[in-house]
Amino acid sequence: MWHLQMLLEFMDKVVKDPANKMTAENVAMVIAPNLFLMSSGSRNRPQAMDRELKLAMATSKITLLLLANRTILWTVTQLLIETSHILDITSQNSIFSANGAIYLE
C-alpha cells in the first residue's frame, strides 16, 4: 500500500503543478493501465475491442477515485477502532464452532 500512496501523492503533485496541462482525468487515464492488469483476449473481434474500451474506462474511473480520495484511504475511523475493540473482547469470550458460528460463553 505504501507504493500506491506515494504514487497517488505524486499524481496529485503533477495535477497541481502549474506547468502541467493535464487534468486529473487525463493523468488517471494514463496511469490506470499500469495499475490494473487487463487482458481481453483477441483484439481482432469487435466484442473484444468493446470490452477492452469498457475496461479502460472503468479502471480510469477507479484510478480517478483513488486520486480524489487519497487523503482518506488510509484513515482509520473511530467507529472502526471501537468496533474492532468490541470484536476482540467478544472473540476472547466465545467459542468458534466448525461451521464458523460464534457461541458466547
Same domain membership, residue 15 and residue 66 = yes
Q: Comparing 2 with 70, which gets the higher pLDDT?
A: 70
Query: What is the DSSP secondary-structure string of 29-92?
Result: HHHHHHHS----S-SSSHHHHHHHHHHHHHHHHHHHHHHHTTTTTTPPPHHHHHHHHHHHHHHH
Do 39 and 61 belong to one domain?
Answer: yes
Whether residues 48 and 59 fall in one domain = yes
Residues 37, 86 within the same domain:
no
Per-residue pLDDT at 23: 94
0.85 exceeded by the pTM? no
Give, in degrees to the nearest 5, the angle at Cα 62 between 7 and 42. Answer: 105
Q: What does the pLDDT average to over 11-21?
A: 95
Q: Nearest-CA neighbor of 4 among 70, 72, 77?
A: 70
d(CA 24, CA 64): 7
85 shares a domain with 49: no
Q: Where in the sequence is the domain holding 85, given as residue range(s)?
A: 76-105
* Residue range 69-88: mean pLDDT, rounded: 80
Q: Which is nearest to 40 in space by CA: 27, 19, 55, 62?
A: 55
pLDDT mean over 5-13: 94
Tell me, yes or no, whether 57 and 80 share the same domain: no
Answer yes or no: do 26 and 38 share one domain. yes
As to burial, measured by CB atoms within 10 angstroms (0-12 exposed, 13-18 middle, 19+ buried), residue 97 is exposed
How many structural domains are present in the chain?
2
Q: Which band of pLDDT confidence, cut at 50, 70 and 90, is reported for residue 103? A: very low
Looking at the structure, tell me whether residues 65 and 80 fall in a common domain. Answer: no
Do 86 and 66 lie in one domain? The reply is no
Antiparallel, parallel or unpaired: β 102-104 and 94-96 = antiparallel
List, for residues 30-67, the tens digit of each pLDDT value: 999 888 876 656 666 777 778 888 888 999 999 999 99
More confident residue, 104 or 70: 70
Please give the average per-residue pLDDT across 79-92, as a whole number: 71
The reply to whether 69 and 80 lie within a common domain is no
- Are 29 and 41 within one domain? yes
